[in-house]
Amino acid sequence: MFYHTKFTISVLSDEPMADGIALSDLEYFLTDGDGSGKVTQGESVPITRKELQDLCNQHGTDISFFVGDEDDE
């Protein structure tokens, strides 16, 4: 079984945040840098293999990261 979970990160800063900031850079900014942040986790929703494939395509991730062969579900 596969799951899709969304997180929302609310950031307070004295300047606009850069587009496409890396998660590691965002984590540093919020824990050791000059920003303040709050993370909210949404519901984890079960998804099908097809939905997983579509989301992997959107993320630029190969589905083989999650499944070994065509028969895995």
Residue-number span of the structural domain to which 21 is assigned? 2-65
Counted domains in the chain: 1
pTM recorded for the entire structure: 0.69
Residue 27: inside a domain:
yes
Residue 15: inside a domain:
yes
Residue 73: inside a domain:
no
For 13-62, the pLDDT digits (tens) are 999 998 889 999 999 999 999 999 999 999 999 999 999 999 999 999 99
Residue 34: inside a domain:
yes
Residue 55: inside a domain:
yes
Residue 25: inside a domain:
yes
Residue 14: inside a domain:
yes
For residues 7-14, give the mean pLDDT.
94
Give the CA distances from residue 54 to residues 6, 7, 23, in Å, rounded to whole numbers and listed in that order.
Answer: 16, 19, 22
Residue 70: inside a domain:
no
Give the containing element (helix H, strand E) for 6.
strand 2-12
